C-alpha cells in the first residue's frame, strides 16, 4: 500500500493518536482537527517585463486559544494549502510544547523566489501584506520568515502594514532586521534551539558529542547555522551536508566557514574544497551519530527508513519523518527529537522579539540565548518525562504535552 504523504493528513493522524491516548472528548478532538480559519488570496504582481502575473497565496490561523496565531510565510513553487494547514497545526503544538502564550498559524505563496528579481519580490511581498493586513497584528496573528523568505521580505511587509495603518507597529512581524525592531539572536535561533535539544538527548543516552559524527540535510538559514553551531558549540564532526542541488562528504569533517564561503560564491555546497559529491540518499543513510534533517517535509519515509543508521535524528525541518518511518525507527531504537520540539527555538525567540517590541526595550544576544536555552531545556525534559510516564515515543509525548495544553485552554474558554 502506498504511504500517504499528504502533510495535513499526517498531522491529523498524529493528532488522532494523541487524542486517543489522552481520551480527549470527541467534540474537543473534532475541533482540534481543523483550522479555526483560513484565507485564500490571488495577488496580482506587475513583473519587470511589464506583464501582470497572479500568484496564489494562503494564510491559515489554526488555533489561537493560547494567544495570537504565530507562524512563518513560505515562498515556494510547490506550496499547497494542505502543507500550510499542516504547518499551522504543527505551529499550534510547537508554541504549546515550549509554553509560550501564542497559537499557531502559517502562510504561503506559490512562487519561485529564485526566479524573481528583487523588485518583483518586493511587489509580491507588499501585495501579500495588503491582502492579509486586516487579519494580522500583534494581538491577532504575527507572521515571520520561513522557506524562501528572509528579513528583507519581512521588512517590506512590515513597512506595507505600517503604511496601510498609518502607525509604527513593529510587533506585527518577527524575524525583522535589528534596525527595524528585530531581536538579537533571532537568525540562528531555530538551529540554536536544536543544539540545546541534541545536548540534552546526548546526556540521556550517555553519548559524548565531542568528535561525534553528524550529517545535515539542507543548507538554508537553519542548516547552515546548525553546521556552525554543531561544530563550534557541541564539537561535532559534520561529515556531510546538502542543499537542493546535491550533497558533499568529507570523512575528516567539513569546516562551516569553508562551506558557507562556497555557498556564497556559487549558490551551492557542491565543489567545496576537500569534499566529494554524494547523493541526498547517501547522506541520509550514512552511518553517523546524529542526522539533522533541515530541509523540507517527507524526507524520511517507509521507503528509506530501514537504511537510516543514525543514533539520534534531530528534526530541524518541519514534518521530515512520516508515520511509517517513525515505526521503523522505534524498532531500530533510534532516538527522535521531534520537529515541533527540536525546531521550537525560532518561535521562542520570535516570542521574545514580540515582548521586546511591546516594551520598546531590547535584550543583548547573550540574554536572548540564556532565555532560549532555559526554554528549550525545560520543553525537552517535559517531553522526555511524558514519554517515560506514558510509555510512548518522543513524538507522541510532544503531542500529548502540547495537545493537552491547548485543549485545557479551549475548555477554560468554554469554546467546547
Question: 297 or 166, which is more confident?
Answer: 166
Residue 319 pLDDT greater than 90, yes or no: no
Residue 5 pLDDT greater than 80, yes or no: no
- Tell me what the mean pLDDT of segment 166-181 comes to: 94
Q: What is the C-alpha separation between 97 and 206, in angstroms, rounded? A: 25
Q: What is the C-alpha separation between 86 and 68, in angstroms, rounded? A: 18
- Tell me what the mean pLDDT of segment 253-278 comes to: 91
pLDDT of residue 294: 94
* Lookup result for grid cell 536572548: 368
Q: Burial-class residue 215 by CB neighbours within 10 Å (0-12, 13-18, 19+).
A: buried
What DSSP character marks residue 172?
Answer: G
- Tell me what the mean pLDDT of segment 279-304 comes to: 91
* Lookup result for grid cell 493528532: 15
Residue 329 pLDDT greater than 80, yes or no: yes
Strands 52-63 and 246-249: unpaired
CATH numbers and ranges of domains, the chain: 37-177 (3.40.50.10860), 189-337 (3.40.50.720)
The three grid cell numbers given for residue 321, joined into one nine-digit string: 519523518
Q: Which helix (H) or strand (E) holds 292?
A: strand 290-293
Helix axes 81-97, 394-413, angle to 10 degrees: 90
Q: What is the C-alpha separation between 83 and 92, in angstroms, rounded? A: 14
- 358 in Cβ contact with 138 (< 8 Å): yes
Q: Which helix (H) or strand (E) holds 69?
A: strand 69-76
| Residue 67 Ramachandran class (φ > 0 left, ψ -120 to 50 alpha, else beta) | left
Q: Which of 106, 176, 237, 375 is catalytic?
A: 106
Cα 363 to Cα 150, 281, 348, 367, 369, distances in angstroms: 22, 42, 14, 6, 10
At residue 297 the predicted structure's pLDDT band, cuts being 50, 70 and 90, is: confident
Tens-place pLDDT, residues 397-409: 999 999 999 999 9
DSSP calls for 225-265: HHHHHHHHTS--EEEEEEETTEEEE-TT---HHHHHHHHHH
Residue 10, C-beta contacts closer than 8 angstroms, at least 6 positions apart: 4, 86, 319, 322, 323
Q: Reply yes or no on whether 106 is catalytic.
A: yes
Q: What is the C-alpha separation between 224 and 243, in angstroms, rounded? A: 10
Mean pLDDT of the chain: 94
Q: 3-state secondary structure string, 380-412?
A: HHHHHHHHHHHCCCHHHHHHHHHHHHHHHHHHH
Tens-place pLDDT, residues 41-73: 999 999 999 999 999 999 999 999 999 999 999
- Mean pLDDT is lowest, of 87-91, 93-97, 271-275, for 271-275
Cα 5 to Cα 109, 173, 299, 393, distances in angstroms: 21, 31, 10, 20
Amino acid at each position: 500500500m502506498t504511504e500517504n504523504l499528504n502533510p495535513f493528513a499526517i498531522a491529523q493522524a498524529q493528532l488522532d493518536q494523541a487524542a486517543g491516548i489522552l481520551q480527549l472528548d470527541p467534540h474537543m478532538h473534532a475541533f482540534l482537527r481543523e483550522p479555526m480559519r483560513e484565507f485564500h488570496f490571488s495577488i496580482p504582481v506587475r513583473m519587470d517585463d511589464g506583464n501582470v502575473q497572479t500568484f496564489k497565496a494562503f494564510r491559515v490561523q489554526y488555533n489561537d486559544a493560547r494567544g495570537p496565531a504565530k507562524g512563518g510565510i513560505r515562498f515556494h513553487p510547490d506550496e499547497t494549502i494542505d502543507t500550510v494547514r499542516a504547518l499551522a497545526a504543527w505551529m499550534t503544538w510547537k508554541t504549546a510544547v515550549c509554553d509560550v502564550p501564542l497559537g499557531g498559524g502559517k502562510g504561503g505563496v506559490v512562487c519561485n523566489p529564485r526566479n524573481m528579481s528583487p523588485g518583483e519580490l518586493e511587489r509580491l511581498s507588499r501585495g501579500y501584506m495588503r491582502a492579509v493586513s486586516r487579519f494580522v497584528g500583534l494581538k491577532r496573528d504575527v507572521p515571520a520568515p520561513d522557506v524562501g523568505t528572509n528579513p528583507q521580505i519581512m521588512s517590506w511587509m512590515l513597512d506595507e502594514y505600517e503604511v496601510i495603518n498609518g502607525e509604527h507597529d513593529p510587533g506585527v512581524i518577527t524575524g525583522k532586521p535589528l534596525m527595524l525592531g528585530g531581536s538579537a539572536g533571532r537568525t540562528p535561533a531555530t538551529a540554536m534551539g536544536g543544539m540545546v535539544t541534541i545536548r540534552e538527548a546526548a546526556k540521556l543516552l550517555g553519548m559524548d558529542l565531542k568528535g561525534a559524527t553528524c550529517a545535515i540535510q539542507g543548507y538554508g538559514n537553519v542548516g547552515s547555522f546548525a553546521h556552525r553551531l554543531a561544530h563550534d558549540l557541541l564539537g561535532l564532526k559534520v561529515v556531510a551536508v546538502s542543499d537542493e542541488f546535491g550533497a558533499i562528504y568529507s570523512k575528516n569533517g567539513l569546516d562551516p566557514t569553508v562551506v558557507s564561503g562556497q555557498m556564497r560564491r556559487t549558490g551551492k555546497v557542491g565543489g567545496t574544497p576537500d569534499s566529494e559529491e554524494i547523493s541526498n540518499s547517501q547522506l541520509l543513510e550514512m552511518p553517523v551519530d546524529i542526522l539533522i534533517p533541515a530541509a523540507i517535509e517527507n524526507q524520511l519515509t517507509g521507503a528509506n527508513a530501514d537504511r537510516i543508521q543514525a543514533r539520534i535524528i534531530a528534526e530541524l525541518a518541519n514534518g521530515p519523518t512520516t508515520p511509517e518511518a517513525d515505526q521503523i525507527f522505534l524498532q531500530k531504537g533510534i532516538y527522535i527529537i521531534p520537529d515541533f520540539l527540536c525546531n521550537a527555538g525560532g518561535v521562542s525567540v520570535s516570542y521574545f522579539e514580540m515582548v521586546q517590541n511591546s516594551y520598546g526595550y531590547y535584550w543583548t544576544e547573550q540574554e536572548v540565548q540564556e532565555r532560549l536555552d532555559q526554554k528549550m531545556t525545560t520543553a525537552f525534559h517535559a517531553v522526555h518525562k511524558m514519554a517515560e510516564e506514558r510509555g510512548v515515543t518522543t513524538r507522541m509525548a510532544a503531542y500529548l504535552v502540547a495537545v493537552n495544553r491547548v485543549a485545557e485552554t479551549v475548555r477554560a474558554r468554554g469554546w467546547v
